[in-house]
Amino acid sequence: MIVAGSGIPFELTIGRRYLRSTGNRFLSFISMISMVGVAIGVAVLIVVLSVMNGFEHELRSRILSLTSHATVTAFGEGLAGWDAMRETALKNPRVSAAAPFVEAETLLIADHAAGASSAATLRGIDPVLEAQVSALGERLTSGSMQSLQPGSFSILLGDELASKLGVGPGDAVVVAVAKGNVTPAGVLPRLRRFEVTGTFRSGMYEIDATLAVVHVADAARLLRLGSNVTGLRLAVKDPYQAPLAVREVASELGGGLYVEDWTRRNANFFRSIELTKRMMFFILLLVVAVAAFNIVSTLVMAVKDKQPDIAILRTIGARPSSVLAIFTTQGTVIGLLGTLGGVALGVLLATNLESIVHRLERLFGVHFMDASVYLMSDLPARVEPGDVLLIAGTAFALCCLSTLYPAWRAATTDPARALRHD
């Protein structure tokens, strides 16, 4: 049925009129509370997921700053003829850069009276090619990449590792390799003195406390690899295609190679983040669900309040489906306005979260995130359109579902009984 002269179905017209009615102030108040509840739930869900997306993006950036997208390594005595292999890898359209590396587990001993020691991963790199596959040069807190020259036996340490050893630029450390020299007295570890020429900081404690970087030629000499290297580090144009790219490169290079990519290397870490995001989504969705189902109470009271109106509408010829549509429209509008308001508020808060947190810190004189503990002082937030659409769609669907029962109750109202009770 269409309202004459307007082209709007009368169910929609009456539903909007009931929604705007101020005859029952308590009912209007409950409707407003339901709408605000939905908006707050949606906004909180958007902000929380945006913060988790921000943390995930920040940690991924820190991990990829000093680790390669993918590696191709050889078993045994290292990778021979790596120049030709590098050229082959670069022919793959998914690969943007490749660099040789030498890597071994070592023991670092400070060359001073205290003689502090720490286990570390020694990585030999080519400073020129390394800039194409990692951001090590951008993470230096002292020194420069140019200090790593073949034969100089210079070393760059993670700042946490340097702190544990009690050394800094200008000091020396002794690198001990388990694969030692055979002497009449037995097998002795292979030792080499390196000069500390700089430090770096990635923001990941696991890297900053365990990684030491030297020139690839010095590392190969220490490990007696000759012209061989441990493997190749690859940079992939799309980091998410690293598993596919490294498998393609390995098949082009032939067998006898071990491949690994950053998604596999950090699989447990990112799976835990993804699991946490999903759990937070479902937990906070309960907040939205509680607010959405408040609409049930609102519409039940509206149906009770409008019993005479329903009876009159049924008497003048309105079908049960029309009555159903009237109250469905009322609940749907409440849910739609609440969802849209929550999306606007959530996106606004998420995009300005860092400035809001900074203002609160200045106002109350506190730090919500201590950089010495969390290795970051800002609260990152990253709004993903897909997450926003999923939250808005789910919230609106819950609101629509909550309208069905009260609307059905209204549609099944007996006109005669309603008028008699009135």
Q: What is the pLDDT of residues 250-278, one digit of tens each?
A: 888 876 788 888 878 777 777 777 888 88
CA dihedral 260, 266, 272, 274 (to 10 degrees): -70
What integer pLDDT is reported at residue 112 of this predicted model?
75
What integer pLDDT is reported at residue 5 of this predicted model?
42
Higher pLDDT, 368 or 334: 334
Alpha-carbon distances of 101 from 122, 294, 375, rounded to whole Å: 10, 61, 28
* 311 pLDDT above the threshold of 80: no
Which residue's entry shows tokens 């060359």? 111
Q: What is the pLDDT of residues 94-140, one digit of tens each?
A: 888 889 999 888 989 888 766 788 889 999 999 988 888 888 888 88
Q: What is the mean pLDDT of residues 67-73?
A: 83
What integer pLDDT is reported at residue 188 of this predicted model?
61
* 1 pLDDT above the threshold of 60: no
Q: How far is Cα 155 from Cα 69, in angstroms, rounded to an integer?
A: 23
Percent of the chain surpassing pLDDT 70: 81
In this structure, the number of other CB atoms found within 10 A of the CB of residue 268 comes to: 8
Q: How far is Cα 287 from Cα 394, in angstroms, rounded to an integer?
A: 12
Q: DSSP state, 180? A: E
* DSSP per residue, 63-130: HHHHS-SEEEEESSS-BSSHHHHHHHHHTSTTEEEEEEEEEEEEEEEESSSS--EEEEEEEEE-HHHH
What integer pLDDT is reported at residue 370 of this predicted model?
59
Residue 310 binned pLDDT confidence (cut-offs 50, 70, 90) = low
Residue 340 binned pLDDT confidence (cut-offs 50, 70, 90) = very high
Q: What is the mean pLDDT of residues 220-230?
A: 87
Alpha-carbon distances of 126 from 39, 139, 229, 232, 233, rounded to whole Å: 54, 16, 11, 11, 11
Percent of the chain surpassing pLDDT 90: 12
Least confident of 3-12, 42-51, 153-162, 303-312: 3-12
* 33 pLDDT above the threshold of 50: yes
Is 128 within 8 Å of 141 (Cβ atoms)?
A: no
Residue 198 binned pLDDT confidence (cut-offs 50, 70, 90) = very high
CB-based contacts of 134: which residues, under 8 Å, 6+ apart? 64, 65, 66, 67, 68, 233, 235
Residue 421 binned pLDDT confidence (cut-offs 50, 70, 90) = low
Q: What is the pLDDT of residues 271-289, one digit of tens each?
A: 777 888 888 888 888 878 8
